[in-house]
Amino acid sequence: MSKSKHNKTPLYTALEKYALEKLTHFDVPGHKKLKALGGIFSNELLAFDANSTKELDMLSNPNGIIAEAEGLLAEAYGADFAFMLVNGSTFGVQAMIMASVGPKEKIIMPRNVHKSAINGVILSGAIPVFIEPEIDYEYGIANGVDYEVVKKTLKENPDVKAVLLVNPTYFGAISDLKSIISFCHRKNIAVLVDEAHGAHFPFGSFLPYSSSYYGADLCTVSMHKTCGSLTQSSILLLNEYHYKRHEIRAIINLMQTTSASYLLMASMDLARKELALNGEKLYDELYDIIVEAKAIINNINGLSCITSDRIDGKGVFDYDETKIVVKVNELGFSGFEVYDILKNEYNVQMELAETYCVLAVVGIGDTRQTIFNLVEALEDLSKRYYKKKPPFKVEMAEFFERPKTVITPRDAFFTPQRLVKIENAVGEICGESIMIYPPGIPLIIPGERISKNIVKQYWFYVNQNCVMLNDEEDVGFITILGEA
């Protein structure tokens, strides 16, 4: 990456110039940049909330400053092309699937994909072939997928059109991307990567390589998650092997808004400049702090923390140290309970919780102070609760039993459905996705058979005060296939 060109912010610079012009606006947006919304938002912010014009270019058909900004993003990430997205990585994942598989065509993906991938196969009509990720039963989390499992699944399904990987997992595990991508390309199979939580990978010397580096055909990254841009701003990266630039642009334009937010796009332009010029220094400084913090956490009674020592060459081929995964159940609480305690009693907001652990995501905005706020909170938790309560234990294997797929998600989605109490749904075919958020991995998806274990897990998460996302707002109900 040539740093000299990355001092430019073509989109932001043009937007700033445009915002300072004394224009009388008869275009949208309707606030006309004259009055802050309810006196809350600043006039400076409203001045940057612009509509597409000749000088500001158009996201759906860029040939000016947006095209230049996307070119800089592609160069920074080592891809052939980059497409700015203003509907988050949810949209990027769906666009990758729509570009790769059509009705009744097969796509391999791990079962711990985000809801967006399930919605992608519903939109495309594709048939998902699920593979199981490797499981860390000690921490109660799913890791990456094993290369040999991918090879075996491809040999059993020679008609597969694409493979979707999650890299890294929410908890920082990296699969053997180089081997998987090389094998798939030898078989003329496209590789798509949900790299929402790995947008920072190209910018630190200690970080894993990004999937674009290894030649993934399509890759979606969430710049807002770790790289400092505004929430909902993401990028879709393309290496022109299976797909051409105009093909991907057409898929994006099929679904993305024509009224793109210049606030989101400008924030990506600025974040890319900062990372390209200073990212390696920022992340290398953070690395030393993270390593120190993890060493301290691993010496706190009742707690343990994942480090690169857990690399096993299978589900953890490499590891993203910016994820701080802390096992907390020895304190007598579930991860969900500790998540709430840290927020309510220590003003520490974690990214998410799982049954046995909590996750903190370190980004470029973090400092020694912020990271050690977490360490000090954990030290105090240990002093308060270690050996005061018995460890929190559940039968962890039950949480990784996957329901059986009966029909495709698309067929289930468009089949007549009815609403029942979840206790009465055992043996029925599910008509919706139910998930715990964050992270948004479905407990069950349309087309899978509801088991007693699924119902048991559902009530466990409800009783843990988790945020449950499904079509029906009333707790304890689920949509199943069949006429009302």
CATH number at residue 149: 3.40.640.10
317 shares its domain with 350:
yes
Q: Are residues 202 and 254 in the same domain?
A: yes
Same domain membership, residue 465 and residue 446: yes
State whether 297 and 252 are in the same domain.
Answer: no
Q: Which domain holds residue 300?
A: 280-385
Pairing type for strands 173-174 and 318-319 reads: antiparallel
Q: 394 burial class (0-12, 13-18, 19+ CB within 10 angstroms)?
A: middle
Residue 393 lies in a domain: no
CA distances, 234 to each of 2, 51, 453 (Å) = 22, 19, 36
Residue 389 has pLDDT above 80, yes or no: yes
Please tell me whether residues 197 and 324 are part of one structural domain.
no
Verify that 340 and 219 share a domain, yes or no.
no
Residue 304 · residue 132 · CB < 8 Å? no
Q: What CATH number is attached to the domain comprising 437? A: 3.90.100.10
172-187 pLDDT, tens per residue? Answer: 999 999 999 999 999 9
Can you give the pLDDT at residue 38? 67
Q: Look at residues 250, 275, 300 and tell me which one is the last residue of a structural domain.
A: 275
Query: Taking a C-beta distance cutoff of 8 angstroms, is the pair 338, 353 a contact?
Result: yes
Q: Residue 136 — φ and ψ, nearest 5°?
A: -100, 95
Give the total number of structural domains in the chain. Answer: 3
- Are 41 and 187 in the same domain? yes
Checking if the pLDDT of 224 tops 80, the result is yes
Gap between the Cα atoms of 107 and 87, Å rounded: 23
Residue 472 reports pLDDT greater than 80: no
Residues 231-250 have a mean pLDDT of 97
Residues 228 and 93 placed together within one structural domain of the fold: yes
Residues 62 and 188 in one domain: yes
pLDDT digits (tens, 9 = 90+) for 211-222: 999 999 999 999
Read off the CATH number of the domain in which 343 is found.
3.90.1150.150
Domain boundary among 215, 250, 275: 275
- Give the pLDDT score at 379: 98
pTM (two decimals): 0.94
Q: Does the pLDDT at position 33 exceed 80?
A: no
Average pLDDT, rounded, for the chain: 94
End-to-end CA gap in the chain: 59
Question: Are 347 and 245 contained in the same domain?
Answer: no
